[in-house]
Chain A
Amino acid sequence: MRISILSFTILLTAGLLSVSASGVNGQALNKQVDISFSRQTLDKAIKQLEKTANTPFAYDAVYLGLNQKTIGPATFSQQPLAAVLGRLLSGTGITFKEASGNILLNKSQQQGRLYGKVTDENGDPLPGASVRVAGSTAGALADANGNYTLNLAEGTYAIQASYVGYQIQEFKDILISADKPHQLNITFAGTSLLKEVTVSYGKQRTREVTGAVTEIKTLPMQDMPVMQFGQQLQGKAAGVSVTQSSGQPGRGVSFRIRGAASLATDYQPLFVIDGLPITGSINNINPEEIETVTVLKDASATALYGSRAANGVVLLTTRHAKPGDPKIEFDMNLGVQKIPRGSVPKVMNGEEWAQFMNEKFTDAKTYENPATTVPDIYQNPSQYGEGTNWFNLLTRSAPIQRYNLNILSAREKSSSAVIFGYESQDGVVINTNSKLFSLRINNDVSVGNHNQLKLGFNLAPSYRMDHNNRLTSDGVGGFYERIFEASPINSPYNADGTLATGAYSTGMTTYVNPLALLTKSQDDYITTRILGNGYLSCDFLPGLSGKLNVGVDKGAETRNQFSPSIALSTSSAAPVASTGLSSSVDNFSYTAEGYLNYEKTFLKDHHLTALAGYSAQRFESKSNSVNGTGFPSDDIPYLSAATVISAGTSGTTQYSLLSAIGRINYDYKGRYLLQGALRSDGSSRFGADRKYGYFPSVSAGWVVSDESFMKDFSKIDLLKIRASYGITGNNSFGNFTAIPTLSNYNYILNGVLVQGQTIGSLGNTELAWERNRQFDLGVELAILKNRITFNYDYYHKVSDGLIQARPIPRASGFVNIQYNIGQFEFWGHEFTLNTVNTTGRVGWTTNLNVAVERNLILNLVDPGYLRRNNTVTSDYYRNQVGHHLGEFYGFVNLRLYKDAADLASSAKYKSTGLSDNGSSDIGTLKMKDLNGDGIIDDVNDRTFIGDPTPTFTYGITNNFTYRNFDLSVTMSGQVGGKLLAAAKWAYLTNLDGSRVPLEAAADRWRSEANPGSGVYPRTKTGTTAIGRSVNTQWVESGTYLTAKNISLGYNFKLKNALLLKNLRVYGSVQQAFILTGYTGGSNPEIALSGQDAINGIGVDENAYPVPRTFSFGINATFK
């Protein structure tokens, strides 16, 4: 390109001149000339020079291609002819010399060589680093060992070296001569703070970022035997809580950034893959495809995502091939998962259960009704021994495996990455599994000698097969509960070997046979997803570039579900009909974005970048569902076998988003930083009166360490203070929530169905996004040559206009109306410390992060609180104004009524007066009479009994290297916060005899003389219900420490061993151990609904345990 020839020319001038001059001594070349060139061909310039210098030139213009070469304007005053020629011919490969007063021009025949090694600050090679002549296309890439070679014509050059993540280095006056190769070793050192991070709509240098941004490279975490990339992020970043609350294969991981919580809407962050915001699940992403994860936490970092940014944004950058030799990588990981024994409740075995029932009936005879008899089957408990161990029968050690084949190649102008993955995980509960096939093809092409035009094309299809892993496993009625409530004195099989119907013994509630439930149920999902995007970017003018990015997200999911009679029935005399379901969902969304970027440095130290763009996104989904029943047998699990199609629906939904974005960054000397950003979102979801939302943010940074007064603090490499404030929104509240809709309410007239139709839900024309106003103050410190870096952030955010399904009196005919009403306050502190503890033979680095998160409910609709439900037994928590999210709510437990005097002097449950014992008696649970009215009742005597929010959470990752070994230990945990052992007390301590209780409940109250452990009450009819109402007995400390992953690897240094360049083997343990005092199970990350604070955090209700996984893996690289 012509524009750049001048600068190119100027760069190379001085050196080449001296080289050329060294070979000649002639008079003509020393002739002083005054000459001025305009922009013209070299041919014309030579002719002009020949004339001005009045010296004959000899050359073949066609052979030298002079007409094809152009020079920029230049002026020479009293310069020797040699200097002028040197300038004109530099970089052209044309040499000159004087012979007999003539100037001869010829092609240079002499080639020199530049070589060397490119390494990072630790001396490790940087394969793929680019070394090139400044401004030209001549260049080379470092090989696998970091070595590069560049053949150049003799001359003096400015050499540029670049490597992703480092600042470009330039070496001037590099002399290349034919005599001897020139060695130039290049080290990218101590510049980690100069590296770039992905931010919204672009990249930014780390030291110039003014928002709270955490970048996590996932490549070192590939050892983890996991199917979801979220699991790799556990404990890695302060303020980014990733927990696994259920062990269902391929599921159960949730994100929560800075304690985000929302009422009717989602609390999950927005996921953006290669610039494209994703709607829906990210489960189908193969972790191997992801290169970096950038978490945007504060408003200035997220504001460009406007009405979707309130919960934070997670930017996923997928893997692209890097400059370097073509290579093939093969990864394999094989593991086995086991349920940690400590997390399994110890319920009564056959003999213990029969003994318990025997005693229950005996006590009923003693205390209640002398006519009671002990049923025959409980007469001789010892005959049963262990009985059926349902847990062992229904769980297993389950394999997990993962294979990846990556084909990467990058050339000067193009790169291609093909990543193929297969993952399979069997559930630790029998007959459940998940498989994922994934492919990603990332292609990039550059055009133009300065790569002015870039085109990229990414395509990522995936295919997931889920088998029974979405059966309701957790919570009430989930199969994990079923495993423990089945009677141990029942066999899962009939005498003829067929599955028994039901698994309950006399006196129990009727339960299905859990073995039948798990082995005979079928609930299969097949998910196909194609993520694709194409972009085109162009540098129009110096500093001005534009980019068009168009992405599509196509997803389809089909479900085939079949519940055979045996899985539903509790009695063979009255079998429940089999049911089947077939449904499918088809989603399509596209995003089209165009934006311009302008960059300008003016008055030397003022640096400005500006971004302006436009974005349109539309999502559409179509779904249908058909239910059938009347299956003549259980043999064919498809609806074609159903004799009755009992229900069928189909529907569609859409949303669209139309946005404009703008951002300006300004800095002075890279020391004073300012940023302002604005997004406007128009959304189909907003009510008719609130169609557009504006989301501004401002931020500023001050690199204190660049100030002259900091010169004395030589140990400090970086000290930066930054602050931001901005407004973001949360719009994930359903597509047509703002619009009232008609629904079908059909009736029968004349003996046939007639259609009825009327308004089924209220709309709200003023429904708007939830607003989140966030302030952030951050400090970044790097000392001792960046060996220690420390980040601190304080944030304070207020979410208001929270959308609540505002309950309205049901006398209105409606249950609720979607309303912007609630207000939450969040604040917290985040600390991150990265240290390089040792270098050299034993390398040791540590990442420690700590997050302190607080929340407060400032406002809610009347009555100022939201309870979980009206049923007192599972009304676990209450969100109430003035309290923290999800505080547990219940009775205050005072153990048992000891004796008649205690009973007489204490308040009693549901008593109608002081003389009435209500539902209480000696040996039943005693609760505190909070309002002092002498009666325990469900309304007045319950209170807040525990806050699930931890004092702080933390993560520690230690990486060690020694010779060829590497060891990584990732731990995370929390201090403080409460857990509610609901499953333990509401289900496993049910003393009605309706289900099997914990072994420990054998030691319960039998008589005043034999009060047992004093924890478990008597079994008297009509008194046990209160034991299943939340009380302080259920609340336990939530402090824990887990070793999320420990992996040990060994690198074989293979010197040219055929094609295999690199081989690493490793072993790894996921969920290695948990240190906790919690007695309700061993997973303290438990919750009712992920990390949704509104739907119960810290509540343990029969959750599918998270398995411990031992695995072995190989990474092989072929070149």
Chain B
Amino acid sequence: MKNKYILLVLVLLTTATACKKSYIDLAPEDSLSPSTFYQTDDQLQQAAIAAYVPLRDLLINDYHTSEMRSDNTHYLPNPVNRGTATVYRENVSDWNNDANNDYVNAVYYHCYTSISRANIVIGRIPNAAKATDAGKARADGQAKFLRAWNYFKLVRLFGAVPLYLTEVSKAEDAFKDRSKVEEVYAQIIADAKDAITELKAPAKFPQTGEATKGSATMLLADVYVTLKRYADAETLLATLPAMGYGLNANYADAFLPTNKNSKESLFEVQYLEGTAAGSQPNTFVFQFLPKTTTTVLITGAVASNTTGSGWNIPSFDILKTYEPNDKRLEASIGIAEGTFDASFIMKITAVKSPVNYVTPANLQSTPYIKKFVHGPYASATNSGENWPIYRYSEALLLLAEAQNEQGKSPLTALNAVRQRAGLPASTETNQGTLRSIILHERRVELAFENKRFNDLQRSTDGLTIMQAYAAKAKTTYTNLENNAFDIQAYKFLFPIPLPERNLNPGMSQNPGYSF
């Protein structure tokens, strides 16, 4: 009899011992918890580093919106693949995209991903109990630089955008309406100023690749020029030489893998070639090559580059825009010569210089962007090419522009750039002519660096230039959709992504777009 009660008690005990609340309080063991992270200098730096990473995703898309949208580049026709991945890309180049374009929208998204991660760093720094003041300044400065840079890209491409300045932790935090353009710029300026204060000038060259006081200074100067605050820009730009920046001897040197983060570099996005775990290769510069099975002549490596390439192809217009003897033409552009098959895949038989190039009668050819390709690569479509965001030559051209707009002579800065390219010094004194010269100089000096569309946006001649280019493009390029190259002023702003507006219906669309 007793035994039974013992059993009964046993049953109850066994079950009751399991009744502990801690039994159901589990946390992931294979990742860290946000509540205990963000405490030390090292952790803050790691969090700041995470905010750089979306730049890589941005760059895979931004060449559509900032370069192919301009008169600098187009694409090779691809009539056998009319999938949306093809059509959407073409639409950006052809100025007939709508708000549902994945490539335009990706630019918007990736800028904000970087901003979100910057916001986390900025918001958590005051509570980082174990961090030093120096560590906090370093992380805060980088985060604010990245936040400012991304908002600057957003405000130029999309106009008034929502301002997210704090960490999002609940769904309610995620819904914001568009802020005024002036408010966005005010925030950019405030962040860039903080970054200039908090960050240090490069300790040595080559630099580490982190954002520096120089990066932030250049960014703010760029913002000021865009806002026509020329005097402010000039003051800032004048501080750069003291930080050690200068031009490399040759134009092509600026892009050499051996010259990464050189004294000419104010900020660049970092890549590391390789296929092993942990490598961070640049794959998108290969998208700028023709679709071909014979890449070896260009990249030095055997690669099947038949899908996903044929984008960002130098336009007929840019090929003609270089002045005679401009070394930058040959440094920037190559010509692939060979034959296209019926699937528009090129068999490349030779790679030629674009200088005075004429396609032989029995062959076909296409230009391609050469300045970011430095083979041979060990593996196909995998490079370590860094991507320039700000170079010192742009600082010089911004300085020239700021000086010219204030009625000062821009020639010292302008000629520094021209002479390195092997061109004669300009002696022009007319402000209007100089304005055109500087715009043109930016076009060739910064070709394919995602600057041209922004330059056309802020230039009073932008609309005329694009309309003239479009007229020629419509007759030059084949396989265009009927509504391609319908250049209108409103299209200098991209539409706010439709999926964002679907989620937040109160958000307005930029004028001119039907949805």
User: B-contacting residues of A (Cβ < 8 Å)?
Assistant: 361, 369, 375, 504, 506-510, 538, 540-541, 546-548, 569-571, 573-577, 592-596, 613-616, 618, 629-630, 644-648, 650-658, 682-684, 691, 735-736, 739-743, 745-759, 762-764, 806-814, 817, 819, 862-863, 870-873, 910-912, 916-919, 937-940, 992-994, 1021-1022, 1024-1025
Contacts and interface: CB of A to CB of B under 8 A. Distances in A.
A654 B26 contact: yes
Given A574-B293, A756-B50, 4 more contacts: A592-B15, A658-B20, A746-B53, A811-B115
Contacts of B19: 614, 616, 658
Contact of B174 (A691, A808, A1021): A808
B81 A994 contact: yes
B107 to A, nearest CB: 11
Given A506-B341, A754-B49, A870 B102 contact: yes
Contact of A510 (B27, B280, B343): B343
The 3 A-B residue pairs with the shortest CB-CB distance, nearest first, are A813-B116, A756-B49, A574-B304
A871 B84 contact: yes
B116 A814 contact: yes
A199 B96 CA distance: 63
A40 B377 CA distance: 100
A614 B16 contact: yes
A186 to B, nearest CB: 34
Contacts of B25: 684
B380 A574 contact: yes
B280 A509 contact: no
A994 B24 contact: no
Contacts of B12: 594
Contacts of B37: 742, 757
A870 B100 contact: yes
Nearest to A940: B515
Given A753-B278, A758-B117, A570 B483 contact: no
A684 B24 contact: yes
B426 interface: no
A745 B50 contact: yes
Nearest to B343: A507
B380 A863 contact: no
A817 B457 CA distance: 36
A658 B21 CA distance: 8
Nearest to B121: A758
A742 B121 CA distance: 13
Contacts of A573: 293-294, 302, 304
Contacts of B121: 758
Contacts of A652: 29-30
Contacts of B18: 592, 614, 616, 658
Contacts of A871: 84, 102
Nearest to A993: B80
Contacts of A375: 342
Given A656-B23, A749-B270, A870-B100, A510 B306 contact: yes
Interface stretch (B2-10, B322-330, B463-471): B2-10
A1022 B304 contact: no
A128 B360 CA distance: 95
B53 A745 contact: yes
A940 B109 CA distance: 24
A234 B162 CA distance: 53
Interface string B474-503: 000011011100100000000001111011
Contact of B4 (A540, A813, A940): A540
B272 A748 contact: yes
B306 A806 contact: no
A748 B53 CA distance: 9
Contact of B482 (A806, A916, A1025): A916
Contacts of B276: 644-646
A749 B261 CA distance: 10
13 contacts: A361-B342, A574-B295, A576-B304, A653-B28, A653-B30, A741-B31, A746-B49, A748-B209, A748-B271, A756-B46, A807-B499, A809-B174, A817-B170
B277 A747 contact: no
A509 B20 CA distance: 61
B46 A755 contact: yes
A911 B112 contact: no
Contacts of A762: 168-171
A756 B112 contact: no
A813 B164 contact: yes
A544 to B, nearest CB: 8
A749 B176 contact: no
Q: Which of B15, B52, B112, B279 has the most CB of A within 10 A?
A: B15
Contacts of A747: 49-50, 52-53, 270, 280
A510 B161 CA distance: 41
Contact of A1021 (B33, B79, B119, B306): B79
A571 B304 contact: yes
B441 to A, nearest CB: 31
Contacts of B16: 614
A682 B24 contact: yes
Given A574-B303, A742-B34, A870-B102, A811 B112 contact: yes
Nearest to B168: A812
B490 to A, nearest CB: 14
A658 B57 CA distance: 43
B120 interface: yes
Q: Which of B18, B278, B280 has the most CB of A within 10 A?
A: B18
Contacts of A862: 502-505
Contacts of A739: 27-28, 33
Q: Which of A361, A375, A596, A751 has the most CB of B within 10 A?
A: A751
B128 interface: no
A171 B48 CA distance: 85
Contact of A756 (B33, B53, B167, B305): B53
A165 B236 CA distance: 92
A172 B449 CA distance: 102
B483 A753 contact: no
A809 B175 contact: yes
A1025 B82 contact: yes
Q: Which of B30, B108, B167, B498 has the most CB of A within 10 A?
A: B30
Given A749-B210, A807-B503, A548 B277 contact: no
Contacts of A809: 162, 174-176, 500, 503-504
Contact of B23 (A506, A616, A646, A651): A616
A1062 B331 CA distance: 89
Nearest to B86: A1025
B54 to A, nearest CB: 8
A629 B276 CA distance: 9
Given A574-B295, A757-B32, A992-B80, A751 B272 contact: yes
B173 interface: yes
A658 B23 contact: yes
A743 B31 contact: yes
B429 interface: no
B113 interface: yes
Contacts of B34: 740-742, 759
A764 B479 CA distance: 50
Q: Which of A658, A763, A808, A862 has the most CB of B within 10 A?
A: A808
B260 interface: yes
Contacts of A764: 170-171
A534 B490 CA distance: 74
A748 B15 contact: no
B491 to A, nearest CB: 12
Contacts of B53: 745-747, 756
A808 B499 CA distance: 10
Contact of B80 (A509, A546, A593, A807): A509
Contacts of B515: 939-940
Given A616-B18, A1022-B479, A810 B108 contact: yes
B47 interface: yes
A813 B112 contact: yes
Interface in B25-78: 25-34, 37, 43, 46-53
Nearest to A819: B171
Q: Which of B26, B47, B173, B505 has the most CB of A within 10 A?
A: B26
